[in-house]
């Protein structure tokens, strides 16, 4: 274990923070509750963002940008929405500073009070639907499929890097449709996009489901989600897709004339994922030595480290190492030849291991003479000699194997931590001793849901899609239940 990193078994929360900080993904900022995303962390976000953006565009969506500031009156137009976000809003009240006449630096100019306060966006439904009113008149304008990449502010009291910060980066899709059927299809389509991305790129298995009435998005008719399981047995909501019905269309009077020239309110969806996904990556895969990143979204997939004594040996290695790097680049591999002589090879090995680079290639003079290199894979830490002949093909196959192996390992852990229970005693025992998802009967009431949360801190993560109907009894109240739901403690 790296001396710089706390072990998971000793203190999981500190282990997570150590990986974020020492893996140079992010840092704390001068603004309470906010973070600085460092270049390596931002490169990881860019890889994730670019792949998601491609997937959005392949499903017909286009990008736009809407204002950071939202008039306070907009949030009053949809009652459930304002209630859901009221306690998290940052409010702008003035528009000017001035020098303190008493010499105390700058102060807010009391004469510069805004006529109407502005909310720093916690989410953009209100400002977007106010805009859509001018964009939509006829069925010919539908569907309207828009996505926004942006930052949002939700004033959090307890924060954790990437998982919960007062400001974070995300994307939010906002679409308008002529029928409820189309809108629901869109909601499910985007949930599937998120699930595909999580599993095929992040190597994180997820469960698709729908939230309970108590857990759904403020202002939604239904909230669909993907839930992932972290190595400490806690769940992490990793993406949501909301069917908004006609709630926001009615609040902002967004109507369209159909083919019979009849006016009706449009049907809406919204969906989003955020930099919280980086937290999911860390906690689903990494170990006590550092980050473990899946090749398809790793900022750096392969690093080549020369091992030599003196300039003469380095010169001999450079030509072959640079040729290997060049061939890998031609094959689409993101590779770095680290010939920096400020640090010894052992230090470089530890550093790239800590940063989760999937493959490390070491080459020394004896390797060169034998026409081989030493290849180390980060996920299993296995080392093996590979022939330089055909090395590019070998490395590309290895990267795919690492990607699949990481997913298989995470899925095996997830599947072994889905526990079916039929009594309250079993439920409490699994929550306390094993963790993970608990499949149990629930009587469908918010009162029971709240009581279970108060007793165990476990919440209903979702009602799985295509859930099997099964008559049973609520494990706490004994009341009739028609299906099992998934509980877990969560981030």
Q: What's the pLDDT score for residue 82?
A: 78
- What average pLDDT score do residues 323-330 get? 98
Q: Distance between CA atoms of 381 and 387, rounded to whole angstroms?
A: 19
Contact 261, 267 (CB under 8 A): no
**DSSP assignments along 187-206, one per residue:** HHHHHHHHHHHHHHTS----
Give yes or no for residue 41 having a pLDDT over 90.
yes
- pLDDT above 70 as % of the chain: 99
- What average pLDDT score do residues 217-246 get? 97
Q: Which of these ranges, 57-66, 75-84, 157-166, 175-184, has the smallest mean pLDDT?
A: 75-84
Q: Distance between CA atoms of 311 and 339, rounded to whole angstroms?
A: 11
Q: What's the pLDDT score for residue 208?
A: 98
Q: Distance between CA atoms of 298 and 10, rounded to whole angstroms?
A: 28
Q: What's the pLDDT score for residue 223?
A: 98
Give yes or no for residue 345 having a pLDDT over 80.
yes
Phi, psi of 333 (to 5 degrees): -85, 135
Confidence of residue 182 (pLDDT cuts 50, 70, 90): very high
Give yes or no for residue 127 having a pLDDT over 90.
yes
Instruction: Kindly list the distances between the CA atom of residue 256 and the CA atoms of 141, 148, 474, in Å, as whole numbers in the listed order.
Output: 8, 23, 45
The string of pLDDT tens digits covering residues 60-80 is 999 999 999 999 999 989 878
Q: What's the pLDDT score for residue 79?
A: 75
- What average pLDDT score do residues 96-118 get? 95
What predicted TM-score, i.e. pTM, was given to this entire model? 0.95
**DSSP assignments along 103-170, one per residue:** SSSEEE-GGGEEEEEEEEPS--HHHHHHHHHHH--BGGG--EEEEEEEEEE---SS-BTTTB-SEEEE
Neighbours of 150 (CB within 10 A): 17
Q: Which of these ranges, 310-319, 367-376, 407-416, 449-458, has the smallest mean pLDDT?
A: 310-319
Q: What's the pLDDT score for residue 2?
A: 57
């Amino acid at each position: 274990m790296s001396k710089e990193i706390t072990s998971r078994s000793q203190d999981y929360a500190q282990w997570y923070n150590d990986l974020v900080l020492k893996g140079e993904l992010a840092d704390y900022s001068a603004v309470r509750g906010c973070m600085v995303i460092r270049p390596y962390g931002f490169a990881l976000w860019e890889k994730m963002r670019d792949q998601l953006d491609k997937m959005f565009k392949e499903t017909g969506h286009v990008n736009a940008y809407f204002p950071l500031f939202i008039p306070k009156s907009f949030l009053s137009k949809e009652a459930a929405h304002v209630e859901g976000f009221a306690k998290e809003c940052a409010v702008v009240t003035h528009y000017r500073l001035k020098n303190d006449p008493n010499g105390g630096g700058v102060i807010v100019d009391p004469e510069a009070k805004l006529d109407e306060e502005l909310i720093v966006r916690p989410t953009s439904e209100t400002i977007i639907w106010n805009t859509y009113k001018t964009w939509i008149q006829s069925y010919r304008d539908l569907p309207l499929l828009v996505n926004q990449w942006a930052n949002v502010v939700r004033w959090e009291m307890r924060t954790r890097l990437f998982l919960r910060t007062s400001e974070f980066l995300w994307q939010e899709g906002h679409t308008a449709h002529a029928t409820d059927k189309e809108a629901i299809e869109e909601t499910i389509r985007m949930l599937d996009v998120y699930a595909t991305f999580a599993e095929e790129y992040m190597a994180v298995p997820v469960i698709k489901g729908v939230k309970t009435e108590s857990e759904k998005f403020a202002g939604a008719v239904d909230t669909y989600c993907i839930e992932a399981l972290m190595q400490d047995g806690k769940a992490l909501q990793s993406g949501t897709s909301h069917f908004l019905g006609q709630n926001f269309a009615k609040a902002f009077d967004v109507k369209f004339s159909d083919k019979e020239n009849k006016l009706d309110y449009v049907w809406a969806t919204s969906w989003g994922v955020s930099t919280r996904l980086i937290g999911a990556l860390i906690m689903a895969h990494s170990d006590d030595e550092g980050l473990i990143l899946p090749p398809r979204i790793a900022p750096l997939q392969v690093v080549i480290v020369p091992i030599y004594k003196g300039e003469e040996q380095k010169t001999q290695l450079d030509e072959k190492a640079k040729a290997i790097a060049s061939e890998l680049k031609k094959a689409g591999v993101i590779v770095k030849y680290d010939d920096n002589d400020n640090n010894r090879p052992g230090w470089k090995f530890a550093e790239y291991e800590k940063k989760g680079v999937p493959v490390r290639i070491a080459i020394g003079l004896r390797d060169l003479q034998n026409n081989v290199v030493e290849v180390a894979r980060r996920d299993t830490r296995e080392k093996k000699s590979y022939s330089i002949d055909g090395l590019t093909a070998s490395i590309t196959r290895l990267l795919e194997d690492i990607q699949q192996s990481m997913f298989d390992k995470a899925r095996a852990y997830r599947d072994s931590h889905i526990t079916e229970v039929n009594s309250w005693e079993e439920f409490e025992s699994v929550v306390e001793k094993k963790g993970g998802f608990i499949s149990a009967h629930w009587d469908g009431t918010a009162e029971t849901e709240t009581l279970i949360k108060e007793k165990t801190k476990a919440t209903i993560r979702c009602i799985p899609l295509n859930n099997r109907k099964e008559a049973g009894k609520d494990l706490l109240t004994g009341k009739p239940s028609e299906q099992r739901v998934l509980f877990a403690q969560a981030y």
